[in-house]
């Protein structure tokens, strides 16, 4: 069966600083149940992938300090299905390691690479699209998913495609643009949001690493190490920190002329900000969202309020704000500034550390 060659690498090593103060280095976004559904974003991602990929073929890429949390959230995984990075080195090195492990297990393997902190409601469409990508990928091409832009977002990367077919060659990748450029991209119809979800064969991605990142490839394929051995993690712990700190986009995708994009038919939200979460939540008649708290709002609209459970909240004359409470921290920020949460959290922590 074709599914015997289907594998998945789920990336669960990010810190998720844009969801501070809810997301912290000790408990980042992928481990949170942001929608109060009884399952973390990691667990929801795993359940979605299980519709396509056999359980035993799903591998988690994560930071070493999150290994125990991964095991708590996904207790059915075997230890060898959790690949731990001893130090953060962005997404290229961990993808190389994951591909090498899987290729040693099955040289005909095809891999779905996906983040574990995105939201996708239409799991049936997701299964259809990913299955199509598995069928279309081969020993040469690299497939990425693009999402039809809903508005000129400045917080997303964009993919320029060659035509508007369901699957098209990629012309170029564009990093987060200005509003004016984003508007041009959307108006042209030839640009898609970069979802950061990929499908490729191990042969294709390893060939690309050998071509574009030969030093990194050579460092992880010495003659004295055989992948899928019991010493894999020891080898990773010893050699990983020597690898280049670079994303898979910069290392491979933006340098290859064998990249194709499939326009996703599934819905997608990368939950990259509190405003992105607000978009997904049920709102009252004035557009307010209250998570866990008991809100009474007067002359207030389009706000997101997240407090500790049962907190009574009075809101008067506030519009388009994010109000967040977690333990000893209170955050009040205009929604228009939520892309700056990473900077705010660093500056605030620096200030508090001095106090």
Q: pTM score, two decimals?
A: 0.92
Kind of pairing, strands 167-174 and 191-201? unpaired
Alpha-carbon distance 98 to 202, whole Å? 9
Closest CA to 283 of 298, 302, 300: 302
Q: Are strands 6-11 and 110-115 parallel, antiparallel or unpaired?
A: parallel
Q: Could you tell me the CA-to-CA distances from 280 to 93, 154, 164, 183, 287 in Å, in that order? A: 33, 19, 28, 23, 12
Strand boundaries in 202-275, DSSP class E? 259-263
255: enclosing H helix or E strand: none
Phi, psi at 182, each rounded to 5°: -60, -40
318's tokens? 């506030």
Q: Give the domain ranges of the chain.
A: 2-263, 278-354
CA-to-CA distance for 231 and 222, rounded, in angstroms? 13
The ranges of the chain with pLDDT < 70 are 1
As a whole number of angstroms, the distance between CA 72 and CA 70 comes to: 5
CATH class of residue range 2-263: alpha beta
Let me know: does 267 contact 120? Beta carbons within 8 Å.
yes
Q: What is the DSSP string of 126-146?
A: HHHHHHHHHHH--SS-EEEEE
């Amino acid at each position: 069966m074709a599914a015997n060659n289907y594998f998945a690498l789920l990336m669960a090593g990010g810190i998720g600083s844009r969801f501070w103060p809810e997301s912290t280095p000790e408990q980042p976004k992928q481990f949170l149940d942001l929608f109060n559904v009884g399952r973390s974003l990691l667990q929801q991602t795993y359940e979605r992938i299980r519709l396509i990929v056999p359980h035993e073929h799903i591998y988690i890429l994560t930071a070493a300090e999150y290994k125990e949390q991964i095991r708590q959230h996904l207790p059915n995984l075997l230890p060898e299905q959790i690949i731990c990075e001893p130090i953060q080195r962005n997404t290229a090195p961990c993808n190389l390691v994951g591909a090498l492990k899987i290729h040693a297990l099955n040289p005909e393997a095809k891999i779905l690479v996906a983040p574990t902190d995105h939201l996708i409601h239409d799991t049936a469409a997701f299964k259809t699209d990913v299955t199509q990508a598995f069928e279309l990928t081969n020993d040469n091409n690299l497939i990425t998913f693009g999402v039809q832009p809903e508005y000129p977002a400045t917080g997303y990367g964009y993919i320029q495609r060659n035509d508007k077919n369901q699957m098209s060659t990629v012309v170029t990748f564009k990093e987060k643009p200005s509003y004016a450029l984003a508007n041009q991209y959307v108006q042209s119809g030839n640009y898609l949001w970069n979802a950061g979800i990929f499908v490729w064969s191990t042969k294709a991605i390893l060939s690309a690493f050998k071509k574009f990142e030969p030093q990194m490839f050579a460092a992880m394929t010495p003659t004295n190490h055989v992948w899928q051995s019991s010493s894999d993690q020891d080898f990773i712990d010893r050699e990983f920190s020597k690898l280049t700190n670079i994303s898979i986009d910069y290392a491979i995708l933006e340098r290859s002329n064998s990249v194709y994009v499939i326009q996703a038919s599934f819905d997608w939200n990368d939950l990259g900000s509190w405003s992105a979460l607000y978009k997904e939540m049920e709102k009252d008649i004035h557009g307010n969202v209250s998570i866990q708290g008991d809100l009474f709002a007067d002359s207030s609209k389009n706000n997101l309020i997240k407090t500790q459970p049962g907190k009574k909240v009075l809101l008067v004359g506030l519009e388009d704000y994010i109000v967040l409470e977690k333990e000893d921290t209170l955050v009040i920020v205009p929604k228009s500034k939520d892309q700056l949460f990473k900077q705010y959290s660093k500056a605030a922590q620096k200030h508090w550390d001095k106090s």
